[in-house]
Amino acid sequence: MTDITHIPARPIKWSTVLDHAILITGALFMLIPMLMVLQTVTTTDVQTIQNGPEFVIGDQFGANFHKAMYESSGFSGENSGTSMLINSMILGLGFALGKIVIGMMAAYALVYFRLRFATFAFWLIFTTLLLPLEVRILPSYEVAQKLGLLNTYTGLIVPLIASATATFFFRQYFRSIPEELVEAARIDGAGPIKFFIDILMPLSQTMIAAMFIIMFVYGWNQYLWPTMITTEEGMYTLVRGIKQITQSFEGTNIPEYGRANMLALIAILPPVAVVIFFQSWFVKGLTETDK
């Protein structure tokens, strides 16, 4: 019988140690700024100003949370953390939902129907991939203003949907689905609507989920467009409110780090949680969309 304790220890592979050291350094590079935010939301503003971030967890988390979520800041007193959180949710979910519904419909029309102007529609739609919103921001603002969409949820969400990423994604996916499927469905007497709902939708579940995650994060994190379109504080999203928070650091006697950092934390957590929990879908969706 062999004695387990006498199996010669494997020599330490220094290259493996180095690999781990590099990965840990990378992980820390990503993590440390976040840890600093987490620490400062547990202390009072005065403590943060005097000592900076420390290796101590304070007991002010509840107080800072209350201040951030329920006490309003700004001029009108309408943008508490709660209202900003609700607006961010509406933007993230509305954007993701709108993008997927409109994208799937258009992609279905382009892939599964014989249309005379299909090629023209295709180019019309896919040109939008070339010019990001940032380069046409002012004229877009003017159009929204002419249509009376300032400070509305429609104005916040719909102009952001005017790009074809989801349509492109679903078009690629539908094209990869075997042709026999639609032939079989037609032989069985299924019409286009029945085929879409009973066959295509269930088949696309994973793709829809992946797209939803990516679009939710994208919508939640929008900044420039919400900055322009919302001027009423009650319409601010968390990400849009961040600049105002930063500006409140200047000029006041005691900058409210506790409140500000808590709001930043609340702006970060939902999209990060979604990405971490649905990691495999998210990665699949991301690497397959852009190729």
Partner 1 sequence: MKRAGFTTRWLPILLLVPQLLIIAVFFYWPAAQAVQSSLYLQDPFGFGSTYVGMDNYTDLASSSEYLKVGKFTLVFTILVTFFSLSLALLLAVKADGVIRGAKTYRTLLMWVYAVAPPVAGFIGVLMFNQSWGPLTELARSIGWDFKLGVNFNDTATAMVLVSVWKQVPVNFIFFLSGLQAIPKSVREAGLIDNGSATRRFWDITFPLLAPTGFFLLIINITYSLFDTFGIIDTMVKGEPGNNPMTLVYKVYVDGFRGNDLGGSSAQSVVLMVLVLALTVFQFRLVERRIHYT
Which residues 267-286 are close enough to bind partner 1 by CB under 8 A? Answer: 267-268, 271-272, 274-276, 279, 283, 286
- For the segment 54-83, give every residue that binds partner 1 (CB under 8 A): none
Q: Which long-range contacts (CB under 8 A, 24 or more apart) does 90-94 make?
A: 90/153, 90/156, 90/157, 91/153, 91/156, 91/157, 91/219, 91/220, 91/222, 91/226, 91/237, 92/216, 92/217, 92/219, 92/220, 92/270, 92/271, 93/216, 93/219, 94/153, 94/157, 94/219
Pick one of 8, 11, 33, 202: the residue that binds partner 1 (CB under 8 A): 33
- Smallest separation, CB 89 to partner 1 (Å): 14
How far from chain centre, in Å, is Cα 20?
A: 30
Pick one of 261, 262, 281, 289: the residue that binds partner 1 (CB under 8 A): 261
- Smallest separation, CB 58 to partner 1 (Å): 15
For residue 170, state whether it binds partner 1 (rule: CB under 8 A): no
The one segment of 5-13, 29-37, 63-71, 73-81 that binds partner 1 by CB under 8 A: 29-37
Q: Which residue has the tokens 């014989």?
A: 114
Rounded Cα gap, residues 261 and 238, in angstroms = 12
Pick one of 69, 89, 90, 109: the residue that binds partner 1 (CB under 8 A): 109
Site string for partner 1, 207-236 (x = CB under 8 A): ----------x--xxxxx--xx--------
- For the segment 130-169, give every residue that binds partner 1 (CB under 8 A): 130-132, 134-144, 147, 158-159, 161-164, 167
Pick one of 42, 43, 48, 80: the residue that binds partner 1 (CB under 8 A): 48
| Inter-CA distances, 4 with 9, 10, 13, Å | 11, 13, 22
For residue 103, state whether it binds partner 1 (rule: CB under 8 A): yes
Q: Residue 219 in contact with residue 95, Cβ under 8 Å?
A: yes
- Provide the terminal-to-terminal Cα distance of the chain, rounded to the nearest Å: 57
For residue 179, state whether it binds partner 1 (rule: CB under 8 A): yes
For residue 102, state whether it binds partner 1 (rule: CB under 8 A): yes
- Smallest separation, CB 2 to partner 1 (Å): 25
Give 57's DSSP letter: -
